[in-house]
Amino acid sequence: MIEEIKKIGIFIKRDFKILFTYRLAFSAMFLNMLFNLFYFILFGSMFGEKMPDALLPYKQDFVTYLLLGSIGWSFLWSVMSSSSIALRNEMMMGTLESILLSSTKITTIIISYTIFGCFMGLLSTVIFLAVGYFVYHVHLAANIFTFIIFALSILMMSGIGMLFSGLTIWVKNIGQTIPLIQNITMFFSGVYFPVSVLPSYLQKIATFIPFYYSIEGMRISIVSPEKSMEYIVILSFLVVIFIIIGLYALNKGMEKAMKEGSLAFY
């Protein structure tokens, strides 16, 4: 157990070295993120300081609404996608099998990638908060319920990350599956606009999107903490479901790859 914990630290240290080795790619990633954020905020500025009727339940102007959605979206999807992308890279470089032959558990690798994803998500959160505070004078008054919902959302996304990691090992190339799911999830989760602006028949779909309860829960916890328990209960249930499914998918993917001897190639 202690040995595996040490390995997690080694993997994280390695990933940071790789990250700072390719400074141009690292800088471009965050500049692209900032420009996308500015595009949406400048678009919203056309409406002036008047609060749209759709935002009245959240007691937030458009910039605050967008900033909170962007923070939740970038952080949680960074956690989710980090493991599957890193596993794909390990297979492309032919290093995954070598790592597993060293008695390192696949769960140790996934945990390492997930923690690294949290670091990256935290960095983007700090940047967004700095932009919101110094440029648009936005103050986000989070509370204990906000942090509980955020923590549960991280665990849920970790389970989804294991699911896609298992799928990556199983079929090797999942193509644009993750970006497709991101776009669908973003549309129905109230990241950039409230679900209430959608047609009624589409609003019902949002209740089947797990990420909806993360974003909506964080917003509600800030303006109406007493209503947070509903989202906490639902997210707790989703955490258990996705971690079980994620572990199952990961183990099945490993079994298939080891049986076929396909861990050494992509």
Q: Count of domains in the chain?
A: 1
In a domain, 73, yes or no: yes
In a domain, 223, yes or no: yes
Q: What is the pLDDT of residues 110-133, one digit of tens each?
A: 888 888 888 888 888 888 888 778
Measured CA to CA in angstroms, residue 129 lies from 26, 171, 194, 239 at distances of: 19, 38, 21, 27
DSSP states along 12-61: HHHHHHHHHHSHHHHHHHHHHHHHHHHHHHHHHGGGTTPPPGGGGGGT--
Q: Over 70: is that where the pLDDT of 40 sits? A: no
Of the chain, the percentage scoring pLDDT greater than 90 comes to: 16
Burial of 37 (0-12, 13-18, 19+ CB in 10 A): buried
In a domain, 53, yes or no: no
In a domain, 57, yes or no: no
In a domain, 238, yes or no: yes
Residue 201 belongs to what domain range? 2-43+62-260
pTM of this structure: 0.84
Q: What is the pLDDT of residues 159-212, one digit of tens each?
A: 888 888 888 888 776 667 777 888 888 889 888 889 988 888 889 899 899 999
Q: What is the pLDDT of residue 149?
A: 94
Separation CA 110–CA 44 (nearest Å): 38
CB 96 within 8 A of CB 87: yes
Q: What is the pLDDT of residues 55-69, one digit of tens each?
A: 888 887 788 888 888
Closest CA to 214 of 68, 17, 63: 68
Listed ranges 9-18, 87-96, 201-210; the one with the highest mean pLDDT: 201-210
In a domain, 102, yes or no: yes
In a domain, 52, yes or no: no
Separation CA 236–CA 230 (nearest Å): 10
In a domain, 50, yes or no: no
Of the chain, the percentage scoring pLDDT greater than 70 comes to: 91
